[in-house]
Amino acid sequence: MERAIVHMDLDTFFVSCERLKNSELEKKPVIIGGGDRGVVASCSYETRFFGVRSAMPIKMALRLCPEAKVIKGDMEMYSNMSHMVTEIIQEKVPVVEKASIDEFYLDLSGMDKFFGCYKWTYEIAESVQKNTGLPISFALSANKTVSKIGTGESKPTGRLEVKQSDIQPFLNPLSVKKIPMVGDVTFQLLSRLGIRTIQTLSEMPVDVLGQLIGKNGNELWKKAHGIDETPVVPYSERKSISTEDTFAQDTIDIQGIKSILSGMVEKLCYQLRAEKWLVSVVVVKLRYSNFDTETKQCRIPYTSADHTLLRYVLELFKKVYTRRMRIRLVGVKFTGLVHGCHQMDLFEDTEELISLYQTMDKIKNRFGTSSVGRASGLLK
């Protein structure tokens, strides 16, 4: 059976949500992001015309497009709108994968026998737009890679089908940077070798690509040929992420406990960013030596930054530890998660902080989670 995989992407999602709140923003340059030292979380097509891009420093974006209106952003609203879109799609499709807050994969394989896959997808997109007011693009093809590239090429409000026989002609003239797994470093390497289009890349011997790029060479060669067997994984919302530590001996060493909490927060935050989650509720758990257990929680602006979450954790610990008794267990739990496309809270954090966390995460990815960390978490 020929696969039918759809990629759906909400066009400039954050900006579109803000335009639903304020119609005066229609067709005007809009930037979603933090203050002067923050970065661009999202931007309208009107600002992209001037060269503004996501993750660009706000100051640079305003130099390129001084007329742009900068809005801090409302992650809670975006999360609610994303849930609304998810529910609409899930009602109509047997297998849905939510890849991010504004991005979905649909597996419609076999449905062409009953109701043409393109027609089915078109009606889903129209239903999303009618019921939420949000513009959405899609591409239908034989696998995730081609459909995702197709969506990018068809935006805004794209409606595209790339049939099996058309895959290679569709891919060939495109830049190798259009392939999802090709980042800036790989693109620069390929460019220096004169490999700038997918056609040139597809003509490279697979073993030569392996020597140039390493273990990803074979996978890159497959994608250049429009081959991708990655399945659509059914979506399920993660509710929370947590950890706790039961001490070998009950303790009253508060400084040591704070150090343990710091280490817990750092490890959980690394996991949050790796899985692209943002947190809105922090919970601290404490168990005394007599087994009495208490918890405290608070709601916060969405974030996955260690320094922000650690501040709330320590404040909650101070509130929950009300007895002069030895402690048997401490724990931290993050709930109220949204699965977004940003690894950091781009509305609050500066360019320098985001770069710091990205660098630390890269080191941990390469050398292990214990390879680098906060000094405060190493004092236990």
End-to-end CA distance of the chain: 57
- d(Cα 102, Cα 177) in Å, to the nearest integer? 21
Query: Which helix (H) or strand (E) covers residue 261, if one does?
Result: helix 254-275
Q: What would the DSSP string read from start to end of 217-229?
A: HHHHHHHHTT---
Known catalytic residue at 103 = yes
Do 325 and 290 meet the contact criterion of CB atoms below 8 Å apart? Answer: yes
* Exposure string over 68-107, b if 16+ CB within 10 A, otherwise e: bbbbebbbeebbebbeebbebbbeebebbbbbbbbbbbbb
Do 282 and 298 meet the contact criterion of CB atoms below 8 Å apart? Answer: yes
Other beta carbons within 10 angstroms of residue 205's beta carbon come to 10
Q: Looking at 81-181, which runs of residues are DSSP E strands?
A: 95-100, 103-107, 136-141, 159-161
Which listed residue (103, 266, 348, 351) is catalytic? 103
Is 9 annotated among the ligand-binding residues?
yes
Is 11 annotated among the ligand-binding residues?
no
* Exposure string over 338-350, b if 16+ CB within 10 A, otherwise e: bbbebbbbbbbbb
Report the binding-site residues. 9, 102
Q: Which residues are known binding-site members for Mg(2+)?
A: 9, 102
The catalytic residues are 103
